[in-house]
Structure 1
Amino acid sequence: MLKILYAAIKYDYGDPERGFGFEHYNFYDSLKKMNNGANVIVYFPFDEIALKLGRDRMNQLLLETALREKPDLCFFCLFGEELKKEIIKEITKKSGAITLNWFTDDHWRFDNFSKYWAFCFNWIATTDSNAPEKYLKTGYKNAIKTQWACNHFLYKPFSSEKKYDASFVGQPHGNRKKIINRIRKSGININCRGRGWENGRISQEEMIKIFSQSKINLNLTKGSGVSFIKSIARIFLKKNNKSIKIENPFLWVDNLKSLLGKNREQIKGRNFEIPGCGGFLITGKADNLQDYYISGKEIVIYKDEQDLIKKIKYYLEYSKEREIIAGAGLERTLRDHTYEKRFNNIFKIIGLI
């Protein structure tokens, strides 16, 4: 049994009106239920607490909680700069717990965020295949390469009945609307859900149903929806609460590297969630995705828009082949790609089990 102080945001992008966020549904829920519920979780949703008490009091309360509860592990998932570096360092130094942060976007946030925070923690986890070497170059040695996964306690096959030919769940960032329009013009009926689409957002439960009830689920990897002008502005400007200020010139080069890093396609949670619901997945290429699934046998990877449309039409016609691949994807996910397995592997590396 482990006692874990869990510190992350509760709500989607820290906004209560958007409902629970990714971290809550996947990290918190998995840590609470894994290993037959053996872990004791001290829940510290710092976004919710900061809204009630303010940033300073929230940080002080976090320190007090860590020192009082004496956990084996303090598991962090930083969002922005809600937490104070000096508070995390004090927890790392005085609590007796191992501190670990899961960095979520090192493909593009390493240079202007992660590398400045890593030294606050005993260990960090990253999903970027290039990041461990980058951390080493900064002098930080305790970086663990991990990956997104499926919370199999939540994401499960719902129904064998197929209501949709094809579905996409996500926001219409970047070139996604253009791709969807071309798919529709080719004669394919596609169901799009999420903030910004004509049918709007859906609940977590509804999303899981759609993954199971769709003949084909799409994961469109091009996700950046920031215009060129806004991207350039972010090199030199920063948002502080509701005001815009000139960024520290020392960080301009790092911000440029961060902007360029967005060109690298990274694996997303969807790559594991859809197969984990027994859904058939067609996805774009992403950093070391084929280390996790075999394309054509467990998922299907498309090369470009033309190839995507060709593959959708093919697998709509050949349902038997589609079902075999979906079944193999589910089996692989449950065998290798659950958060329970990811977390237990991390806990072994850091000496907790």
Structure 2
Amino acid sequence: MEKLDKKMLFVAWACHNKGYFSYQNWHSPLKAIFKEFVTFDPQEYSYKYGIKAMNKKFLEVVEKEQPDFIYLWLIYDEFDIETLLKIKEVSPKTRVVNFFGDDDTKFEIYTRYYSLFVDFPLVSHKLYFHKYKPEGIKNAYYSYGVNTNDFCPKDLEKKYDATFIGTPMADRAELVTFLKDNGIDIRVFGAGWERHPELKDIYFGKLSQEEMIGVLNESKINLSFSKNYQGKPSFKSRVFEASACKSFILTEHFKVYHDLLKKDKELVTFKDKKDLLEKVKYYLKNEKERREIEGRAYKKVLETYSQEAEFRKIFEDILKKEGKENLGKVGLPKLNKKVIEIDETELKLDEESLSDKVKNSDYVAFTSKRCRISKHRNYFQAYGLKKTGKEISCCDYYLYSNGIGDYLSFYAEPSFKALKKDRFFSLLDLCQLVVTKDFFVKNLDKFKDFDDNKEGLFTEERVSFILSPLIQVRSEKPIVYEEIGGVVLPAFEAPLRASQNKGRLFFDLYLYKLLLHSMFGKPYIAKYLYKRLLEKKGKKK
């Protein structure tokens, strides 16, 4: 089939990593349909040179290549807001496409904001597709195909009764253990299972893409567990990947699956542990029925959910529409709302003076000597308040020091859900908040003594979160080691990795500054680095 006479710049995170979803599902389909295909891997470049250098290099590549399309997979804050805004400055004709794959957990806190930088959002969660238009997000396309060029049938023996490929999040370890204890010959693959020593005899490590496709083909029953990190049902690509290999998949029930594949004809699901065990036993015994189901699923996926065919249809539709009207975005939408900033020292003023100070504003933001505020903070948090109708907007933050810069990133929304309330409030900073003027005036007495009134002010029904660190806090927040990697992200790891990849880790002053900070009030840094060192040694063995 003829290629599109356009240039694609493929910039999805880890798009050079053959073991990663972005390479496995998108690289060859996009390359197959565009006449010019250029790649830039933000993960690879940032791991070598650091996040700031990656952002700079990315814009240089965009300016040099002048692509017709950029394909992104925005995850957190790997691209600076300023970088995303400058794409159209350095290459006005470029259209930005982004895959939003986690709307079940991130639509309200991430997609709502980062879609502002995107011309054409690709939406993987069908249940959330309807949310885009009411938000004013136009030109969205539903997208969740599978790379049928790579995920395909192989002439391999079905040597495994049951397998699971993936991480042990949610209740996966419990379900695998239940099957094992009930006599099912099951094997698990993927990262993180070393944390479950009780399953070490059935754990066989991580897989490359080629190895994963082999295991999918070699399994009589491929298992897929649908719960996400929050324990809620979510679409998993493994359903299409196994079906594309003409291999049977048994997946945890999720309504959306049966909108895509016919129940019990093309896809079998289970509802609980008992149902899972019964169906594993049944389909191991009934090979003919199992083969018929996998055959019908294979035919459906090949005809309907091929990633290459899906991409071609999407981009041809975009080009057809672009021929009639200019669909590209230029800049952020105007907000027409006024935000006034109150320094925390001004909260000592009397209530009448404070009310007078904010009377002509729509929203109130907070500042402090200990905080550095992004120039985009007020816009995005005010935007969130306008969209949600909530009274409080809360962003993430970086912890920083003058000596080592940003060293931790605090996830506000996941922390609010995962931590005990007193623990969360000990980490909450006033500068994270932008509030409506009316809410501020109504609760002036509480804001004047914020530390003692956090819990009364900050309730779930009042708050909209934004998954983006829009401030830096220079503060001795009481971080606990066990929270790192969960609700607190180790930002210090990125510059260390870049230094290590240059072969200069032990000559880098940054490492010794980190260790020095660890000695003076931040012991979790040294503990985390030591654990990571042990993990790497274990992998080498």
Is this a same-fold pair by TM over 0.5?
yes
Q: 2:180 aligns with which of 169, 181, 184?
A: 184
Q: 2:134 aligns with which of 119, 133, 137?
A: 137
Matched AA of 1:310:
E
Moved over 6 A (4+): none
**Alpha-carbon spacing, 1:163–1:319, altered in 2? closer, same or farther (3 Å):** same
Matched AA of 1:297:
K
Deviation of 1:309 (Å): 1.1
Deviation of 1:352 (Å): 5.8
Paired with 2:320 and 2:56, the residues of 1 have a C-alpha distance of 26
Equivalent runs, 1:93-112 vs 2, <5 Å: 94-112=91-109
Q: 1:296 aligns with which of 226, 244, 264?
A: 264
Corresponding residue for 2:29?
30
Paired with 1:335 and 1:31, the residues of 2 have a C-alpha distance of 18
Paired with 1:122 and 1:52, the residues of 2 have a C-alpha distance of 30
Deviations 1:145-194 (A, max 9, x none): 222x2211111212252101111111122211111121122222112122
Deviation of 1:318 (Å): 0.9
> Is 1:209 matched with 2:201?
no
Matched AA of 1:321:
E
> Is 1:342 matched with 2:310?
yes
Deviation of 1:92 (Å): 3.3
> Is 1:268 matched with 2:268?
no
8 Å CA contact 2:11–2:70 kept in 1: the answer is yes
Paired with 1:352 and 1:24, the residues of 2 have a C-alpha distance of 27
1:345 alignment partner, SS class: helix
Paired with 1:132 and 1:315, the residues of 2 have a C-alpha distance of 34
Q: 2:11 aligns with which of 4, 7, 15?
A: 7
Matched AA of 1:142:
N
Matched AA of 1:111:
E
Matched AA of 2:309:
K
Higher mean C-alpha deviation, range 280-289 or range 85-94: 85-94
Between 1 and 2, higher relative CO (CA 8 Å, sep ≥ 6) is seen in 1
Paired with 2:231 and 2:176, the residues of 1 have a C-alpha distance of 21
Corresponding residue for 2:164?
168
Larger radius of gyration: 2
Deviation of 1:218 (Å): 0.6
Deviations 1:89-147 (A, max 9, x none): 23235430211111111111112211111111111111122433333333222322222
8 Å CA contact 1:92–1:120 kept in 2: the answer is no
Paired with 1:166 and 1:154, the residues of 2 have a C-alpha distance of 22
Paired with 2:156 and 2:291, the residues of 1 have a C-alpha distance of 10
Deviation of 1:312 (Å): 1.0
> Is 1:121 matched with 2:118?
yes
2:132 alignment partner, SS class: helix
Paired with 2:320 and 2:97, the residues of 1 have a C-alpha distance of 12
8 Å CA contact 2:228–2:234 kept in 1: the answer is no
Task: Give the TM-score normalised by the residue count of structure 2.
Answer: 0.54
Matched AA of 1:21:
Y
Paired with 1:132 and 1:206, the residues of 2 have a C-alpha distance of 33
> Is 1:61 matched with 2:29?
no
Residue identity over aligned pairs, in percent, reads 32
Unaligned runs of 5+ in 2: 194-199, 322-541
Matched AA of 1:22:
F
Deviation of 1:336 (Å): 0.9
Matched AA of 1:23:
S
> Is 1:86 matched with 2:82?
yes
Deviation of 1:82 (Å): 1.0
**Alpha-carbon spacing, 1:287–1:70, altered in 2? closer, same or farther (3 Å):** farther
Paired with 2:81 and 2:225, the residues of 1 have a C-alpha distance of 35
Corresponding residue for 1:315?
283
Corresponding residue for 2:250?
282
Corresponding residue for 1:236?
none
1:350 alignment partner, SS class: helix
1:153 alignment partner, SS class: coil
Paired with 1:314 and 1:67, the residues of 2 have a C-alpha distance of 58
> Is 1:20 matched with 2:19?
yes
Matched AA of 1:202:
L
Unaligned runs of 5+ in 1: 225-261
Query: What is the alpha-carbon root mean square deviation over aligned residues?
Result: 2.1
Paired with 1:153 and 1:183, the residues of 2 have a C-alpha distance of 33
8 Å CA contact 2:127–2:256 kept in 1: the answer is no
8 Å CA contact 1:275–1:326 kept in 2: the answer is yes
**Alpha-carbon spacing, 1:95–1:58, altered in 2? closer, same or farther (3 Å):** farther
